[in-house]
A and B are shown apart, each in its own frame.
Chain A
């Protein structure tokens, strides 16, 4: 019996020391990262973001920019200024070192994709990503306790002031110089004509292209038939709106983002 207990005791001690050894390993901050063709997606405190290597340009899917449209057509953000200033919500980002270690190992084998969950007093917002080849599917699950349920769910992707934002017919929704438009046409055989009369433009297509002149990638946002795209030039956001058909405690919305090497390639799939 004593022999048995000695064996079990040292077995437990070794297992404990082994776990403690693993616990001590340092995990990089941006884990997990998934490659989406020429870009990467990772979770940050402000949401999920697409970026390219160490070029400092980020395309964010963030609860700070997303919104709801309520029954009276009032636009409501997910977090109030007070909630943001007083940190009245938490995220699950790096909340557990063991989870971080697990994510690091799983991401090495491309088993896990970046996600982030925000938990507030009366809401829970979760962003999930799924990568298939050159496509990234962003899904947002929104759980809210409210007496004023939303009519429309708004999901956003940020873009940058230098970006070319255009649709498949060549309507360009951001300002670019004539030289740049000509150069774009000569390089990629896509002729763009500026359409920046309004500050918030509704797009009639099911896709919109974001091309950053400082990245070697093209982002195509592709929506479902039940969704609408807007280009909001004031806030520099691509807004994807989806009507709520049935009231629920959890509202789920998703759309696809495709990454291509250059506009010539993207144009084939528009």
Chain B
């Protein structure tokens, strides 16, 4: 549920770096004017906070190893926060120089549209559907417990693939430290703020490129109601989606700076690129490629196109794209992120179906209209946008794992082109009544597509009368674990999904959370075939955490999910992408198994039971 406290705490994720960044940016750039300054403040603020954290971790703590990171960092955050707040107060006059009216309308529109989608998405859904938030919160909690590193896999073994630095989590930890609030409320709130920013980014992006309010509005509407699986741009707040939003604002900023004849310095570009890359290596790399590519184009295009024919360049580009799509499947890249990569390697047909689920036929129908209008108008900035859109579309359809994730950036460009395509037709209609009818109709169509798409996503999540990944009884079990074992080094063992949930909400460590390693999975499979409790006990002690030393005791959690996971095939149990996504209560048959374990009083003590979860404390 969104509360005032949680929304302020979530806003601090953005406000705190902005306050710090405003001071940092101002002192570096001598208060030089820049378009959309908030994005620069945010980037500089994040880099400053992250930089400070790394200095404290790798320099200060190496000199004073007896100190813990969090004891050093926490006061730093408070001091930085207070200093930045007061310095910003002295600069408050500058705030009133901003053209608030210019932003207010679009912000209010974004909040309104975001509110509609937020209401629809959260119907019968009391908890966030962003499954990834569990592992990100676990990492934040581990930092709060004093474990810190640049590398995420050194903070939590839930992260087996280092897809980004810990910058995202450092900022999140700072926000949660400044104003602690309930975890679920925080994530609901920050998801809403993120959604509003996605809509705002879609609006401003289209506006700066086309200078057309109507196209900007259509782009914002598309940005609101289109929800793609795999990329989750609008509704899931995760590093890849934050990277995409910040990139779009930086892209807009760059175009506006060029319009105002203020070409940014190379160091400015480098700082922004550094943030994008640190926030997500793969998405950030694409973002940096486009961002730096745009900068170089602006700076050197006259020289370049004096040497090379534009049409020839375009033709070579198209040729390379076709070759890449055809031959990419031959490149052996499944070593990327082990088993999970296999799941994220979709065929062209599957990718097409993902798009169809999110857009219906609107992509196929309006995109060509938008493309032809752009080619007819030949406005430089629109053609650049088209080239980037087609480049990303090409990447997406290549047969390499994870490339579909690039659509997290691509969707802003595609939506702009679709919006142009819609505008091409609407501009022919001049009667206001008909225009209003069309707007209402098209919004209704997009809402319909969004709802059907939501049904796809949520249909498997039926638990009693709600749609959810997490059950209230699992949260109660986590509360018990937090109170009794939260401050111990005990290791919790269960199926990956149960581990993921209980570790996040209780703070009790598990091996790998949802990304349990193969040893843990093999031991769990053997455990299920064991005929004596002592055999199970022995196997539980063969499960070891990679990062933390653990107590002599283990917590063995038997949930409805655990038993369902055990009933799956070996192939699925070994796969990182397979989980029991929906809560399940314990059955009569499950309780037989619980009784079987309880018979070994020497090793298994049943310490907690509710309709969904039974927890054993296991002694060696």
Contact = CB atoms under 8 A, between A and B. Distances in A.
Contact of A26 (B364, B448, B456, B465): B456
B442 A28 contact: no
A7 B432 CA distance: 10
A28 to B, nearest CB: 5
Contact of B449 (A8, A25, A37, A54): A25
A24 to B, nearest CB: 3
Contacts of B422: 14
A25 B611 contact: no
B611 A11 contact: no
A104 B451 contact: yes
Interface stretch (B289-297, B306-314, B393-401, B587-595): B587-595
B365 A108 contact: no
Interface string B582-614: 101111110110010000000000000001000
B434 A11 contact: yes
Given A18-B442, A25-B448, A54-B564, A31 B462 contact: no
A109 B448 contact: no
B449 A55 contact: no
Nearest to B612: A216
A66 to B, nearest CB: 27
Nearest to B560: A216
B460 interface: yes
Interface string A20-52: 111111111011010101101000000000000
A215 B462 contact: no
A162 to B, nearest CB: 9
A17 B425 contact: yes
A10 B425 CA distance: 6
A105 B360 contact: no
Interface stretch (B258-266, B351-359, B504-512): B351-359
B462 A21 contact: no
Contacts of A262: 611
Contacts of A214: 587-589
Contacts of A213: 587-589
A15 interface: yes
Interface string B358-396: 011110111000000000000000000000000000000
10 contacts: A11-B434, A11-B437, A13-B425, A18-B442, A24-B361, A31-B459, A53-B584, A104-B455, A105-B452, A183-B592
Interface of B: 123, 353, 356-357, 359-362, 364-366, 422, 425-426, 428-431, 434, 437-438, 441-442, 445, 448-449, 451-456, 459-460, 462-465, 560, 564, 580, 582, 584-589, 591-592, 595, 611
Interface of A: 3, 6-8, 10-11, 13-15, 17-28, 30-31, 33, 35, 37-38, 40, 53-55, 101, 104-105, 107-109, 183-184, 187, 211-216, 261-262
When A and B form their complex, which 5 residue pairs have the shortest distance between CB atoms, in order from nearest?
A: A24-B361, A216-B585, A21-B362, A24-B360, A213-B588
